[in-house]
Amino acid sequence: QGNEASFSQEDARLVNALLDLGQEHLFTHWPAPGQHDDDKVRQVAQLRHLDFNYNGGLVGYIQNAQRLLEDSRAGRNPFEGYTPVVPDGEKLDYGSESFQEYEELGAEAAGRAAFVLVAGGLGERLGYSGIKLALPAESATGTCFLQLYVESILALQARAQQQRPGTRLPLAIMTSGDTHKRTIKLLEDNHHFGMDPAQVHLIKQEKVACLSDNNAHLALDGKDPFTVQTKPHGHGDVHALLHSSGLVKRWQEEGLLWVCFFQDTNGLVFRALPAALGVSSRKDYDVNSLAVPRKAKEAIGGIAQLQHTSGRSMTINVEYNQLDPLLRATVNPEGDVNDESGYSPFPGNINQLVLKLSSYAPELERTQGIIAEFVNPKYADASKTQFKSSTRLECMMQDFPKELPSSARVGFTVINQVWAAYSPVKNSPADARAKAAEGNPSHSATTGELDIYEANCRSLQMIGTTVEGPEPRTFNGLDVQFWPRVVWSPAFAATFADLKAKVNGPGVRVGSNASLVIQGRQVEVAKLDVEGALVIKAGPDAIVKVDGLEVRNKGWRWMALNPDKPMTEEQFIRGFKPQTAKPQRSLDEVNIKLIWRGCDSK
Ligand code: UPG
């Protein structure tokens, strides 16, 4: 029914293949030639695009979908034959001696690592219209997540450069149609946050077609019948993109040894990642997942050892929606429940993965980075014949070990203190309140920020600093512990050992009303007492020693929002508005011993 001249033989071949698969509905609404011809061309072009971007083409996609949808309808257990067992792994107390030992080893290993940030998700659950990488991780400095990550990598790089001058640690960022342009803009507007642009590689994932029923009919858009609905395919795409872009091959040729994966909003990721790298390096793990204690039913996957009746076993993430049914069907009729420790016996996967390049690269060659897919339709009723809304095939990056031979060394590293390693920003204020009411972490913008202060305050306490507080506060209906607002840049301290070296713990007191910001590579704090706000900001070449400074001022205040007053979206999702006055006095007016070495006094 189209104007034949507008279509190529390739177009015709694809359309015929789709018709053979029962997809007539894609074309039955087409009017006679001469009407809506441009729309028809546009629709076929989109089908070609979807066909090109899926390994196996649209035919493969529909066939895979039919198989997976039938499994789902029939209630087939994807873990048939497997029994979950609590796995053995390295469990570390943050700041303990063994933690520091691994961290030191890992900071060394980081000098030969590439970093991969998956940031294609739009964060619909959060109800934020921007990209999550642009969200401030905390409002004391306003540093956004992407800046925090880049600076953390640069701090590890600076360390590596002491041994190998010129070292540049690559950062690959997976974007999607939803986030690509805005991620580029964020980088360009901020001079890549100090990273050499040649180090940063953007790899963009494509969306996949939505499916409207159990027969895998592709779903047409309700408003525009010449467009197939599409949705993201999941973070598992990152492996295929690292393969097709040639990045992994290049990294191996450049002599790198490790690849570290992480997600868009965890302000604490680099507190734990070096230790995990250390564990990988010492134990020669092919795959190592960072984990934290997990509350039963919390929306984080559980790491389990799955033992098959055939004798095969694998250590793998079981996603949060699958863990409860799997446990009920096998070892525990109560499903996903806490044990006497108050936590699920299965550690929570925070999706920060360390992969060994020498085994990852050949595995990518073999599989082309294709990851096991799944489908998760929301059925309209128990007959499972109709969906509430269209669905699509998905894949997850942490499923990579499923493809590995059983001889592979797959382990995990638990950081026993959640506050030290994991606090993502995922849920809207309303969802966050509901999670908190169930006794689960709210994973909100409120806690994402306040947990950074907590981690910093507790770290200072561990080195002997007196930190007052925390005080109970309520923001957005969430009851939280409000610690002094202590923040430092990765250049100041990238590891726990750096903190110990730069801060004389017992010489420092932080009052409950304090806000303390430290930014600068060569800042040292020997003696300091803060009541109020203090910002120490030193340029890269400035050496600053704080020795005997007492700060007394009104300080900054984090005001609970007044719903009648205007607020930004960032403030709305946090539930507070910081009042951070500009510094009142400059450094040379106060009692700090300053040593300037030919640097710009700013
Ligand atoms: N993402 C993509 N592309 C997609 C979907 C997501 O890049 O198509 C990114 C997203 O930007 C984020 C990350 O992947 O950085 C994770 O997405 P998110 O929606 O936050 O994941 P969850 O469904 O919450 O779960 C993941 C893991 C789960 C783990 C949890 C820890 O699947 O096992 O426990 O993250 O935060």
- Of ligand 1's listed atoms, the one at least distance from the Cα of 349 is 34
Distance 89 CA to ligand 1 centre (A): 23
Could you tell me the pLDDT band of residue 586, with boundaries at 50, 70 and 90? Answer: low
What distance lies between CA 208 and its chain's CA centroid? 21
Find out whether 504 and 469 touch, Cβ atoms under 8 Å: no
Counting Cα atoms < 13 Å in the Cβ hemisphere of 490 gives 26
* C-alpha span between 418 and 573 (Å, rounded): 22
Give which of 377, 510, 317 is closest to 68, Cα–Cα: 377
Q: Which amino acid is at 513?
A: N
| CB-CB neighbours of 476 under 10 Å | 23
State mean pLDDT over 415-434. 97
Kindly indicate the confidence band of residue 406, based on its pLDDT and cuts at 50, 70 and 90: confident
| Three-state secondary structure call for residue 389 | strand
Q: From the CB of 347, is ligand 1 less than 6 Å away?
A: no
With a 6 Å cutoff on the Cβ, whether 87 touches ligand 1 is no
Task: Name the DSSP letter for residue 583.
Answer: P
pLDDT at 602 (0 to 100): 34
Among 175, 173, 168, residue whose Cα is nearest residue 199: 168
288/281 Cα distance (integer angstroms): 10
Ligand 1 pocket check: which of 116, 118, 397 to mutate, most ligand atoms within 8 Å of Cβ?
Answer: 118
Whether 154 shows a pLDDT value over 80: the answer reads: yes
Task: Say yes or no to pLDDT of 36 above 70.
Answer: yes
- Mean pLDDT in residue range 520-524: 96
Residue closest to 261 by CA, chosen among 250, 247, 90: 247
Q: Identify which of 263, 315, 321, 394 to mutate to test ligand 1's pocket (most ligand atoms within 8 A of the CB).
A: 263
Indicate if ligand 1 lies below 6 Å from the C-beta of 263. yes
Dist. CA 236 → ligand 1 center (Å): 9
Rounded to the nearest whole angstrom, what is the distance from the C-alpha of residue 20 to the centroid of ligand 1? Answer: 35
pTM for this structure?
0.94
Beta-strand relationship, 471-475 and 478-482 = antiparallel
The string of pLDDT tens digits covering residues 187-236 is: 999 999 999 999 999 999 999 999 999 999 999 999 999 999 999 999 99
Reported as a single tens digit per residue, the pLDDT across 95-126 is: 999 999 999 999 999 999 999 999 999 888 99
319 Cβ closer than 6 Å to some ligand 1 atom: yes
Q: Is 90 in the pocket of ligand 1 (CB under 6 A)?
A: no
In sequence order, which ranges of 408-526 are alpha helices (DSSP H)?
Answer: 418-421, 429-437, 445-462, 496-502
Is the shortest distance between the CB of 294 and ligand 1 below 6 Å? no
- 427 Cβ below 6 A of ligand 1: no
The Cα–Cα gap between 360 and 375 comes to 26
CB of residue 288 inside a 6 A radius of ligand 1: no
Count of residues for the chain? Answer: 602
Which ligand 1 atom is the nearest neighbour of the CA of 123? 19
Per-residue pLDDT tens over the stretch 454-472: 999 999 999 999 999 999 9
| Cβ neighbourhood burial of 577 (10 Å; 0-12, 13-18, 19+) | buried
pLDDT at 600 over 50: no
Whether ipTM > 0.95 holds is yes
pLDDT of residue 122: 85
Contact 305, 346 (CB under 8 A): no
Q: What share of the chain is helix, strand, coil (3-state, %, to 5)?
A: 35, 25, 35
Give the pair of three-digit tokens for residue 175: 């974007």
Atom 14 of ligand 1: nearest residue by CA position: 235
Instruction: Find out whether the beta carbon of 349 lies less than 6 Å from any atom of ligand 1.
Output: yes
- Residue 444 CA to ligand 1 centre (angstroms): 15
For residue 266, give the ligand 1 atom closest to its CA: 36
Does residue 300 line the site of ligand 1, with CB under 6 A? yes
Crossing angle of helices 445-462 and 429-437, in 10° steps, is 60
- Could you tell me the distance, in angstroms and rounded to a whole number, from the CA of residue 390 to the centre of ligand 1? 20
Q: Is the CB of 426 under 6 A from ligand 1?
A: yes
CA 489 from centroid of its chain's CA atoms: 20
- C-alpha to C-alpha distance for 256 and 233, rounded to whole angstroms: 29
Is 520 touching ligand 1 by the criterion CB < 6 Å?
Answer: no
Mind listing the pLDDT tens digit for each residue in 424-433? 999 999 999 9
Q: Quote the CA–CA distance of 281 and 511 in Å, as a whole number.
A: 40
Reduce the DSSP state of residue 122 to 3 states and report it. coil
- Answer yes or no: is the C-beta of 302 below 6 A from any ligand 1 atom: no
Residue 192, SS3?
Answer: helix
Q: Give exposure, 349-385, as e/b (b: 16+ Cβ within 10 Å).
A: bbbbbbbbbebbbebbeebebbbebbbebeeeeeeee
Residues of the chain above pLDDT 90, percent? 88
Q: Tell me whether the omega of the peptide bond preceding residue 87 falls within 30 degrees of 0, making it cis.
A: no
Alpha-carbon distance of 152 to 272, in angstroms, equals 12
Cis peptide before 293 (omega within 30 of 0): no
